[in-house]
């Protein structure tokens, strides 16, 4: 048994939102919620400013296993997710082999079953992610795939995206399309701005993202299929999505926490931890992106977690692999930007976007909870990283709020 004492409940869908309550969890279920509960047999969790919400969900996570276990195993990824407050993560098809049929999805479901963190596989959209032939989408969906995505690969063939959206609409699944026009992006590795010019690095204009989003929105309007645009990094891209949402509800989008908090100014150090895909935008763009956080344009904020070993990062900048880990730092960075209740909303909207049952904070419900303290400020250091790979773009950055632990699937993991 676990007894959470005097916890402020953050759940906009609940009548308990904003209220302080004791919560008793027994055998993985919320047994009682009351102003005061006494139970000498329970493990008591009590803090000066204890908060709880439904378990957070990260919609864009890459792990090493299978294929790249030296980067991060599934077991270690679960620990890192829990440290960041996530009870559910969507696993990108960024492994070897990538799931592209029923057996690939079932393997991931089986090896991660009954863990404190629920792992939801994302299947490849096309075979081998080569953009030529659709993967076995329906079979993967029946096996447990929650979405389809050629991870960080744009769908160049517009007709293939059209057919895929039409097909998946018959079983109400979600297709993700990476927002980048490869012809405009070329061989660019950083944003086209004054910083890239001064550093002499190959750049790509934000136009590469905006063109792709404009095309994909037109295809979504035609097909009426469910389209999710992941890791949008430009304000013009968000403006296009905002305009589309005025008349249609079949499109959603996410923004990564690093694009909301870090700018291309970081590149002046030539630290490869700041080499990301899409690239960090300039300081003005970051401030404009932040203004969308309190609107309904951004559905989800994600860590876009990508573990990479020093063999991929301790190189010349142009040779290094793009990506940063982020699960452990996502909440602390986001909570710095907006009110805690809005941060929680953006970390839990994924349930609705990807057709998952939303947890409930009610007596008799299975406990799927994140327990945290929202006001503690600290500097993010390597000691805060649970992930095997340490390639964090947030090292040395100030965070606000700490995760105390999670409860999910009749299990609990604590950071303290």
- In which residue are the tokens 């039409």 written? 166
User: Catalytic: 304?
Assistant: yes
Q: Phi and psi at residue 67, in whole multiples of 5°?
A: 105, -35
Contact 270, 300 (CB under 8 A): no
Selection from 179, 242, 238 nearest residue 208 by Cα: 179
Selection from 340, 239, 216 nearest residue 285 by Cα: 239
Out of 139, 150, 304, 375, the active site residue is 304
Contact 129, 177 (CB under 8 A): no
Q: What is the largest CA-CA distance in the chain?
A: 65
Q: Would you call 314 exposed, middle or buried from its count of C-beta atoms within 10 A (0-12, 13-18, 19+)?
A: exposed
End-to-end CA gap in the chain: 17
Rounded Cα distance between 302 and 254, Å, is 7
DSSP 29-48: EEEEEES----TTSEEE--T
Contact 367, 343 (CB under 8 A): no
- Which residues are designated catalytic? 304
């Amino acid at each position: 048994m676990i007894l959470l004492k005097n916890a402020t409940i953050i759940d906009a869908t609940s009548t308990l939102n904003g209220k302080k309550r004791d919560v008793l969890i027994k055998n993985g279920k919320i047994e009682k919620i009351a102003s005061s509960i006494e139970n000498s047999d329970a493990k008591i969790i009590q803090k000066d400013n204890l908060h709880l919400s439904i378990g957070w969900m990260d919609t864009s996570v890459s792990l090493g296993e299978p294929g790249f276990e030296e980067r991060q195993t599934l077991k270690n990824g679960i620990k890192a997710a829990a440290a960041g407050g996530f009870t559910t993560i969507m696993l990108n098809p960024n492994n070897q082999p990538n799931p592209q049929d029923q057996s690939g999805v079932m393997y991931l479901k089986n090896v991660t079953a009954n863990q404190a963190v629920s792992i939801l596989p994302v299947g490849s959209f096309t075979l081998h992610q080569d953009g030529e032939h659709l993967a076995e989408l329906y079979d993967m969906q029946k096996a447990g795939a929650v979405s389809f995505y050629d991870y960080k690969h744009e769908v160049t063939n517009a007709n293939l995206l059209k057919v895929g959206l039409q097909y998946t609409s018959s079983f109400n699944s979600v297709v993700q399309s990476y927002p980048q026009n490869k012809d405009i992006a070329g061989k660019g590795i950083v944003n086209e701005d004054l910083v890239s010019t001064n550093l002499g690095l190959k750049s790509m204009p934000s136009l590469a993202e905006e063109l792709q989003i404009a095309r994909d929105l037109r295809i979504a309007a035609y097909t009426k299929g469910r389209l999710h645009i992941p890791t949008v990094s430009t304000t013009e891209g968000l403006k296009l999505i905002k305009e589309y949402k005025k008349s249609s509800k079949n499109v959603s989008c996410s923004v990564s926490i690093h694009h909301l908090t870090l700018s291309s100014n970081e590149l002046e150090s030539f630290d490869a931890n700041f080499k990301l895909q899409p690239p960090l935008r300039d300081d003005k763009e970051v401030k404009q992106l932040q203004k969308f956080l309190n609107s309904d344009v951004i559905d989800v904020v994600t860590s876009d977690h990508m573990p990479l070993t020093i063999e991929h990062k301790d190189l010349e900048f142009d040779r290094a692999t793009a990506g940063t880990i982020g699960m452990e730092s996502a909440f602390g960075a986001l909570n710095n930007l907006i009110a805690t209740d809005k941060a929680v909303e953006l970390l839990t909207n994924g349930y609705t976007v990807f057709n998952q049952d939303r947890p409930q904070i009610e007596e008799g419900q299975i406990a799927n909870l994140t327990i945290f303290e929202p006001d503690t400020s600290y500097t993010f250091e390597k000691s805060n990283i649970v992930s095997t790979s340490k390639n964090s773009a947030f090292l040395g950055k100030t965070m606000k709020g700490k995760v105390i632990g999670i409860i999910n699937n009749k299990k609990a993991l604590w950071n303290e």
